[in-house]
C-alpha cells in the first residue's frame, strides 16, 4: 500500500508518471521533502519511471580511465588533483605509458578508454595544443581501432580552441577525425555562475559549457552530462542545472542528434580538497541520503529526455551506488581500472571494480544485467576477470 503523501506531491509524481515534464517549482518541492513517507514515494516513483523508460536490466561498461596529466593552469577550489609543473606529485604520461595502459585495458576486455586531464599549457606538438590532443587519441586508435575513445570535457575543448586560436566547431571536428567518439559532460559542476565563481572561477561559464555541448551534438558528437552536488549549491540551483540539461537535450533531439547519452550525479568529496572550500562545506564525504534523493529527482525531472542514469561508485562506494539503482538509476558505470581525480580528493569508493564485483552488486537486486558499450548498445558479456588497480603516477 502506498505511503500517504500530500496532494501536491502526489500530483507532481502523477504528472511525471504520465510522461509530462514537471516544472522547476515542482522539482524544488520534491527536493525539499524530509518525511519518510514522501522520500519513499519519490524513490518508488523514480524507480517506476526507470522501469518504464529503460526496463529492469542494469547495464555496465568495461572501460579504463586514463588521466594523462595532472599539470593544470587552473585552480578549482574543490580540486586535490591538479599540480604545477615541477611540483611534487606532478606527472605527465608518456605515449608509451598511455599505450601500455590501453593495451592492458584491451586485454581485460575493455570497449572504452576515457581520457581527461589537467590543462597543461606546455602540452603541445610543434607549438599546437590540438596536435597533442589528437596524438593522445591516435596513439590508442592506431593500434586498437575498435576501442571507443570517450575523451575531453567541454573545458578541454575550449582550452584547445583558446591555445590554438581556433573556433570550437573546428576543434570538435578535428578530435572526431582523430578518433574521439564522445565527449564527457564533465566540467559542468553546477551550471550556475554564482556557484562557479566560488568552485571554479577560471573555468568556462555556464553559457559556454552549454554552447560547446550543443555544438558537439549538432556535429554528431554525443556527450554525457554530470552534476557536482552537495557542496555550496542550493536545491534551487540543483533544479536549474537539471532544467538547463533538459532544455539542451530537447533541442538536440529535435535536431536529430543523439545528444546526451546519460546523466551522472557526482557527490562532492572534500577530504583532501583545498582548505577554504572544505571548511565552508563542513564535511569530507557525501551525505548518501541527499545524493539518493537528488538521484531520484533527477530521474523524475529529466524524464524521457535523458533515459540513462548512473551513480558514481567512486564517490558513493559500491554499496551506495548499488542502492542508487533503487532510486532511479539503471547503469552501474564502468570498471575504470584506475581513477585519480576523485581518489586524490579522498574518496573511499576505490579506483577499480572488477567485472565480477559489478555483476555481484547487480545480482543483489535480482535484476538482469547487460554489458554495454559507451553509447548503450548491448555487447556480449566478457568472462569475469580481476582488474588490478594501477597505482603508478598518483
In a domain, 106, yes or no: yes
Q: According to the model, what pLDDT value does residue 61 have?
A: 96
Number of structural domains in the chain:
1
Question: What is d(CA 26, CA 3) in angstroms, rounded to the nearest whole number?
Answer: 19
In a domain, 347, yes or no: yes
In a domain, 1, yes or no: no
Q: According to the model, what pLDDT value does residue 303 have?
A: 96
Question: Which residue reads 603516477 in cell numbers?
Answer: 393
In CATH, what number is assigned to the domain containing residue 157? 3.20.20.70
Each residue's pLDDT tens digit, 146-166: 999 999 999 999 999 999 999
Give the list of residues 6+ apart from residue 280 with CB closer than 8 angstroms, or none. 232
Residue 73 is part of which domain span? 57-371
Q: According to the model, what pLDDT value does residue 80 have?
A: 75
Q: According to the model, what pLDDT value does residue 130 have?
A: 98
Using the 8-state DSSP alphabet, how is residue 3 labeled? P
Question: What is d(CA 241, CA 235) in angstroms, rounded to the nearest whole number?
Answer: 10
For residues 68 and 98, the answer to whether their CB atoms sit within 8 Å is yes
Query: C-alpha distances in angstroms, 54 versus 57, 58, 64, 214, 373?
Result: 8, 9, 25, 24, 16
In a domain, 376, yes or no: no
Q: According to the model, what pLDDT value does residue 278 have?
A: 55
In a domain, 178, yes or no: yes
For residues 102 and 140, the answer to whether their CB atoms sit within 8 Å is yes
Question: What is d(CA 381, CA 55) in angstroms, rounded to the nearest whole number?
Answer: 19
Question: What is d(CA 12, CA 126) in angstroms, rounded to the nearest whole number?
Answer: 57
In a domain, 49, yes or no: no
Using the 8-state DSSP alphabet, how is residue 65 labeled? E
Using the 8-state DSSP alphabet, how is residue 73 labeled? S
Burial pattern 32-44, b for ≥16 Cβ within 10 A else e, equals: ebeeeebbebbbb
Q: According to the model, what pLDDT value does residue 345 have?
A: 45
In a domain, 45, yes or no: no
Each residue's pLDDT tens digit, 15-73: 999 999 999 999 999 999 999 999 999 999 999 999 999 999 999 999 999 999 998 98
Q: According to the model, what pLDDT value does residue 391 have?
A: 28
∠ CA 345-335-317 to the nearest 5 degrees?
A: 45
The three-class DSSP label of residue 149 is strand
In a domain, 52, yes or no: no
Task: Please list the alpha-helical segments (H only) found in 262-342.
Answer: 275-281, 288-302, 313-324
Start-to-end Cα distance in the chain:
51
Which residue numbers in the chain have pLDDT < 70? 1-4, 270-284, 338-351, 381-394
Amino acid at each position: 500500500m502506498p505511503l500517504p503523501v500530500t496532494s501536491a506531491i502526489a500530483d507532481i509524481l502523477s504528472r511525471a508518471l504520465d510522461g509530462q515534464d514537471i516544472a522547476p517549482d515542482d522539482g524544488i518541492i520534491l527536493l525539499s521533502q524530509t518525511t519518510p513517507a514522501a522520500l519513499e514515494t519519490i524513490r518508488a516513483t523514480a524507480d517506476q519511471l526507470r522501469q518504464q523508460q529503460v526496463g529492469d536490466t542494469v547495464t555496465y561498461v568495461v572501460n579504463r580511465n586514463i588521466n594523462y596529466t595532472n599539470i593544470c593552469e587552473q585552480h578549482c577550489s574543490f580540486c586535490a588533483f591538479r599540480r604545477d609543473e615541477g611540483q611534487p606529485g606532478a606527472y605527465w604520461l608518456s605515449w608509451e605509458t598511455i599505450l601500455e595502459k590501453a593495451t592492458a585495458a584491451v586485454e581485460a576486455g575493455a570497449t572504452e578508454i576515457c581520457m581527461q586531464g589537467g590543462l597543461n599549457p606546455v602540452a603541445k606538438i610543434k607549438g599546437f595544443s590540438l596536435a597533442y590532443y589528437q596524438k593522445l587519441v591516435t596513439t590508442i586508435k592506431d593500434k586498437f581501432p575498435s576501442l571507443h575513445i570517450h575523451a575531453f570535457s567541454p573545458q578541454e575543448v575550449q582550452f584547445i580552441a583558446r591555445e590554438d586560436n581556433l573556433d570550437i566547431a573546428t576543434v570538435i571536428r578535428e578530435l572526431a577525425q582523430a578518433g574521439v567518439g564522445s565527449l564527457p559532460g564533465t566540467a559542468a559542476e553546477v551550471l550556475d555562475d554564482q556557484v562557479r565563481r566560488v568552485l571554479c572561477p577560471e573555468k568556462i561559464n555556464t553559457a559556454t559549457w552549454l554552447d560547446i555541448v550543443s555544438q558537439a551534438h549538432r556535429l554528431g558528437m554525443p556527450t554525457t552530462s554530470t552534476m557536482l552536488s552537495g557542496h555550496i549549491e542550493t536545491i534551487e540551483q540543483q533544479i536549474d542545472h537539471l532544467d538547463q540539461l533538459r532544455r539542451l537535450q530537447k533541442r538536440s533531439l529535435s535536431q536529430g542528434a543523439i545528444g546526451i547519452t546519460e546523466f551522472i550525479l557526482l557527490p562532492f568529496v572534500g577530504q583532501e580538497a583545498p582548505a577554504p572550500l572544505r571548511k565552508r562545506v563542513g564535511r569530507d564525504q557525501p551525505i548518501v541520503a541527499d545524493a539518493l534523493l537528488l538521484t531520484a529527482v533527477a530521474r523524475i525531472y529529466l524524464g524521457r529526455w535523458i533515459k540513462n542514469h548512473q551513480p558514481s561508485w567512486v564517490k558513493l562506494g559500491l554499496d551506495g551506488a548499488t542502492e542508487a539503482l533503487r532510486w532511479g538509476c539503471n547503469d552501474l558505470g564502468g570498471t575504470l581500472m584506475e581513477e585519480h581525480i576523485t581518489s586524490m580528493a579522498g574518496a573511499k569508493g576505490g579506483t577499480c571494480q572488477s567485472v565480477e564485483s559489478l555483476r555481484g552488486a547487480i545480482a543483489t537486486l535480482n535484476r538482469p544485467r547487460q554489458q554495454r558499450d559507451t553509447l548503450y548498445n548491448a555487447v556480449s558479456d566478457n568472462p569475469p576477470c580481476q582488474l588490478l588497480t594501477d597505482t603508478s603516477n598518483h
